[in-house]
Structure formats: C-alpha cells, structure tokens
Chain A
Amino acid sequence: RKEVEQDPGPFNVPEGATVAFNCTYSNSASQSFFWYRQDCRKEPKLLMSVYSSGNEDGRFTAQLNRASQYISLLIRDSKLSDSATYLCVVNALGSQFYFGTGTSLTVIP
C-alpha cells in the first residue's frame, strides 16, 4: 500500500467553482502535512501546511482528519490561475516526507 494516495484527476472546473481534493495516508504516526502546488515544468511550491484544527488562507482551506487518516484542500471561487497540480506531502517523526501522486486541476473560463 502506498504511503500517500491522491486522486490524480484531472479535475476540470469552471471559474468561480468550489473544488475539493482529498489525500489519504497510511502511517498513523504521521505528524506533518502539507499541500504543495506545482505548475507545469516548475518546481513544487508550498501552498499551505495543514494544522490539526484546520486552517484557512484566503480562498484555500485545509483540513486534517486523523481518525480517517486523510487531509483535504478546498478551493473556493476558483481562478484561472489556480490551474496546476496539487501535491500532498506527509511526514512522520523520524521518517522522510512522502508525496502523493498529485491531483491535476484545470479551471476553465
């Protein structure tokens, strides 16, 4: 079983839509969770960390569900510029960071 699993998509949504991605992890000892954004032919960039209580940054909301071992990313009022691949990254104490396969999002005019 993979350490981290994501639905690869693609997700094609109209501008202004709300879209949500989930990411499941297998190691219950995982303690750090992140969402990264990667544009085509560019490096991944940290979008936001995911805190236990959930956190919001503008149009982006991240949630953590430890009981079900998944994290989620909600994007409200999608913009064309949100089109990218979104990678979840999970880390357990004493372990490396594990990447999901990425979810491709295209926001359509």
Chain B
Amino acid sequence: DTEVTQTPKHLVMGMTNKKSLKCEQHMGHRAMYWYKQKAKKPPELMFVYSYEKLSINESVPSRFSPECPNSSLLNLHLHALQPEDSALYLCASSHDVVGQGPPDYGYTFGSGTRLTVV
C-alpha cells in the first residue's frame, strides 16, 4: 500500500460547525504532515508529527487542532473556522522527518480535502 488516504474529499461547513479531517497511511512512515494550499500557491506547512508526537506547529490558529491517534492516522479537528480558511488541506507522510534514508524518500501526499467555509 503506497497511498495516503484522506477523507472527506470535499467539505462545506459553517463558521459555527465542528468537523474533522482524516488521514491514513500504511507505509510505515514515521512522519505525517498537514498542509494548507490556496489556489496558485505552494502548500503551506501547518503541523508535523514525528513518531506520533507533534514536532512542528507553524503558528497555526487554535481553531485548527491536530491529533495523531497512532502511527497510521492523523486527524485535523476544525472549529469556528473563517471563510479565509477555505482551501485544499493536504496530508502527507514521509519515511522520516529528518530526511535520513535514501534520497528518493520524499513526501507522499493524499488527494486532499477541499474545504469551503461559509
């Protein structure tokens, strides 16, 4: 299995809703990431989990709350979002966050959740 699976693929939520994005990988990768991508921009790092522990939080507002229940799963809990939070949310995994290992160990991305906040 060489995939990162994200659900749902599309999500429309109101500013008072609470929802969660889910990400799953079974490649034995020890690093998992959440990225946010706006149209015509590169992915913007939000959170990094390394060995199930949060290692990087790129000053993301608290209305985004990550969770890593186990080495294969990564969630992103959403609460009280703003319309400007509408974007493509990408989950990714890699063998190791510190870039060790063979040079062809890059990211594997999920297909993303397209989020619209109304």
* Interface, chain A (partner B; CB < 8 A): 31-34, 36, 41-46, 49-51, 87, 89, 91-97, 99-102
Contacts and interface: CB of A to CB of B under 8 A. Distances in A.
27 contacts: A31-B103, A32-B99, A32-B105, A32-B106, A33-B103, A34-B107, A36-B107, A43-B109, A43-B110, A44-B43, A44-B107, A45-B109, A46-B108, A49-B106, A51-B103, A87-B42, A92-B99, A93-B99, A93-B100, A96-B45, A96-B56, A97-B45, A97-B99, A97-B106, A97-B107, A99-B42, A101-B41
B97 interface: yes
Nearest to A104: B40
Interface in B10-61: 41-43, 45, 48, 56
Nearest to B110: A43
Contacts, number: 62
Contact residues of B: prevailing secondary structure: loop
Interface residues of B, number: 24
Highest count of chain A CB atoms <10 Å: which of B90, B103, B114: B103
A49 B103 contact: yes
Contacts of B42: 87, 99-102
A101 B38 CA distance: 12
B58 to A, nearest CB: 9
Contacts of B72: none
